[in-house]
Amino acid sequence: MTDGTMAACIIDDTPRATIVPKPRRRAGEVLIRVTLAGICNTDLEIVRGYVPGFNGIPGHEFVGVVEEADDSRLVGKRVTAEINCACGQCEYCRAGLGRHCPTRTVIGIINRDGCFAEYMAVPQENVVEIPDTISAPQAVLIEPTAAALEILDQVTIGKTMNVLLLGYGKLGMLIAHTLITTGCTLTIVGKHPRKSRSCGNIPAHYVPADDFVDGQFDVVVEATGNPAVLERAIANTKPRGTLVLKSTYAGNPPVNLSPIVVNEITLVGSRCGRFEAALAFMQNHYTPVEPLIHKTFPLTDAVQAFTEAAKPGALKVLLKNE
């Protein structure tokens, strides 16, 4: 639109498609025209109340083209952006851990508008250029791939280890593709049998949730997004083993923590990862883009897109801007 407004999806109580003022880029920021964006479980959790009081434009998985920047060389470049906008000064930022900066804003999640809009403004230091070899849907998947790879930054997984992945949704599929590169023995438990086919190209055992018999695993990764699975995840972690939690939950799941103490289980919370690592991973390994895409909607149909993304078993729903 040329009148200083743009189409966007906002969440106050529920998601709705609307017209809002086009963002203005501040010094140090770039203005990006978003071309493709992805709905992630975090966005669905925001609708369910994971970020109390969230009121704005959600979305943090995207690719777009730079329209304005202080650095004119960036204009016209295809980019995505690291989602944590950090202060750059504090002890976390100085250690390269801006994603833990206490005063950070997070694109589409905390105090900063996201990518479910025609335009967005982000700090220039967050911008990551996308090489031509990476397709638009792949670029949208850089953020969740970085989140999947974060596990390998946090936990050492070796060839002799037995690993259990609970949950084979959008993030779970990417996690499987990163875990398998360690050479570990991987068991995947999922709800939807049709997804087992996409395991075909990785050497993992896929077990439908109803058929899974409890076992003892060196590492268990919980990626179902379902708090009811937590006790089972704990029970399947062997003494002195590691339980990795990848889901954020709205609400406070009741869970018995005693087995964690008795079995001396290491509990690892795992969230965002490094974009450069994800980009390198995508260039060096097969990443399952096609099997992950569920449906694509125009941005103006964002409400239907959210409804579709929330259906059980739905994979990645994309929002397209033409």
| Residue 156 CB coordination number (10 Å) | 10
For Zn ion, the closer CB: 79 or 265: 79
Q: Which is nearer to Zn ion, 190 or 273 (CB)?
A: 273
Nearer to Zn ion, 17 or 86 (CB): 86
Minimum distance, C-beta of residue 94 to Zn ion, in the bound complex (Å):
8
Mark residues 102-131: x for contact with Zn ion by CB under 5 A, - for none: ------------------------------
Please state the closest distance from residue 69 (CB atom) to Zn ion, in A: 23
Helix (H) or strand (E) holding 267: strand 266-269
Q: How far is the CB of 213 from Zn ion (least distance, A)?
A: 32
Decide: is 173 part of the binding site for Zn ion (CB under 5 A).
no
Rule CB under 5 A: choose which of 93, 127, 279, 292 binds Zn ion. 93
Residue 198, C-beta contacts closer than 8 angstroms, at least 6 positions apart: 173, 288, 291
Q: Does 97 sit near Zn ion (CB under 5 A)?
A: no
Stretch that binds Zn ion, among 15-23, 33-41, 191-199, 260-268 (CB under 5 A): 33-41
HEC profile for 146-195? HHHHHHHHHCCCCCCCEEEEECCCHHHHHHHHHHHHHCCEEEEEECCHHH
Q: Name which of 17 and 148 has its Cβ closer to Zn ion.
A: 148
Least Cα distance to 107 among 125, 144, 82, 128 occurs for 82
In DSSP terms, 284 is beta-bridged to none
Q: Rounded CA gap, 291 and 170, in Å?
A: 10
Q: How many CB atoms lie within 10 A of CB 151?
A: 24
Rg, Å, the chain Cα set:
20
Nearest to 62, CA basis, from 45, 39, 46, 84: 39
CB atoms within 10 A of CB 245: 17
Nearer to Zn ion, 69 or 85 (CB): 85
CB of 286 to Zn ion, least distance (A): 21
Work out the angle at residue 270's Cα, subtended by the Cα atoms of residues 217 and 266, and round it to the nearest 5 degrees.
45
Listed ranges 28-36, 100-108, 150-158, 239-247: which one lies at the site for Zn ion (CB under 5 A): 100-108
Site for Zn ion in 47-86 (CB under 5 A): 86
Nearer to Zn ion, 64 or 241 (CB): 64
Q: How far is CA 233 from CA 146, 223, 269, in A?
A: 23, 10, 14
Question: Which of 90, 110, 245, 260 forms a contact with Zn ion (CB under 5 A)?
Answer: 90
Q: Contact with Zn ion (CB under 5 A): which of 1, 19, 75, 87?
A: 87
**Residue closer to Zn ion (CB basis): 30 or 93:** 93
- C-alpha distances (whole Å) from 225 to each of 221, 274, 297 are 11, 22, 24
Scanning 37-45, 196-204, 263-271, 304-312 for contacts with Zn ion by CB under 5 A, the matching segment is: 37-45
| Shortest distance (Å) from residue 16 CB to Zn ion | 21
CB of 37 to Zn ion, least distance (A): 10
Q: Is 40 a residue that touches Zn ion (CB under 5 A)?
A: yes
Minimum Å gap between C-beta 1 and Zn ion is 27
Binding site for Zn ion (CB under 5 A): 40, 42, 86-87, 90, 93, 101
